[in-house]
């Protein structure tokens, strides 16, 4: 009958520690040369979520960004435009939101107060970038004196009217006339 020490599955504590030490030293020495090249090849991955408005344009911009920054990989996830704020709140609460995302200025304060965003003040080249942003647009990127993002586009809203037609819709007493008499379909 074989003794306990002769069993192929039995290892003393001393043998285990010695073998583990050799293995650890071997792995450490083996990776010294590889570590530098592994770090050089390491790529940062950024999860980016945005509402799905012309996602092909966004995807083209993401591809251009990655070509200009080969050490950064971006995974873009378009989300439903109509339900975007609700979806993002659900992702934040579940802890599964991306690293970068769109936020409307109307939601910025609430998202900051909830702890879902961090300021970007002091990032490299931010001051240079801010010089090219219209002051009214730049103002929407701040909350309580800290900047939380950069714009991805800008809009100009124009309200045009025809003076003659507008004057026809004003009554003699200066009040504006309603274009509806008794509900939808009853226009003049």
Residue 148: exposed, middle, or buried by beta-carbon count in 10 A (0-12, 13-18, 19+)?
Answer: buried
Q: What is the DSSP string of 21-81?
A: HHHHHHHHHHHHHHHHHHHHH--EEEEEEEE-SSHHHHHHHHHHHHHH-TTEEEEEEEE-S
pLDDT confidence of residue 38: 43
Question: What structural domains does the chain harbor?
Answer: 42-102 (3.40.190.10)
Band of pLDDT at residue 128, cut at 50, 70 and 90: very high
Q: For residue range 106-121, what is the model confidence (pLDDT) as tens digits?
A: 999 999 999 999 999 9
Contact 129, 151 (CB under 8 A): no
d(CA 90, CA 88): 5
> What's the predicted TM-score (pTM) here?
0.59
Q: Is the predicted pLDDT of residue 105 greater than 70, yes or no?
A: yes
Tell me the mean pLDDT in the region 49-68: 92
């Amino acid at each position: 009958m074989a003794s306990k020490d002769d069993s192929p599955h039995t290892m003393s504590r001393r043998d285990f520690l010695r073998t583990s030490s050799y293995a650890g030293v071997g792995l450490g020495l083996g990776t010294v040369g590889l570590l530098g090249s592994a770090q050089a090849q390491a790529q940062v991955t950024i999860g980016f979520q945005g509402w799905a408005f012309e996602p092909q344009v966004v995807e083209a911009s993401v591809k251009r960004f990655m070509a200009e920054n080969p050490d950064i990989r971006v995974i873009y996830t378009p989300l439903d435009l109509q339900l975007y704020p609700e979806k993002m709140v659900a992702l934040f609460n579940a802890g599964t939101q991306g690293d970068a995302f769109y936020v409307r200025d109307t939601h910025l304060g609430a998202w900051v107060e909830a702890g879902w965003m961090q300021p970007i003040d002091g990032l490299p080249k931010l001051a240079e970038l801010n010089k090219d942003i219209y002051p009214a647009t730049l103002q929407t990127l701040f909350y309580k004196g800290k900047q939380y993002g950069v714009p991805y586009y800008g809009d100009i809203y124009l309200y045009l009217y025809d003076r003659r037609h507008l004057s026809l819709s004003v009554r003699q007493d200066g009040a504006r006339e309603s274009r509806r008499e008794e509900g939808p379909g009853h226009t003049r």
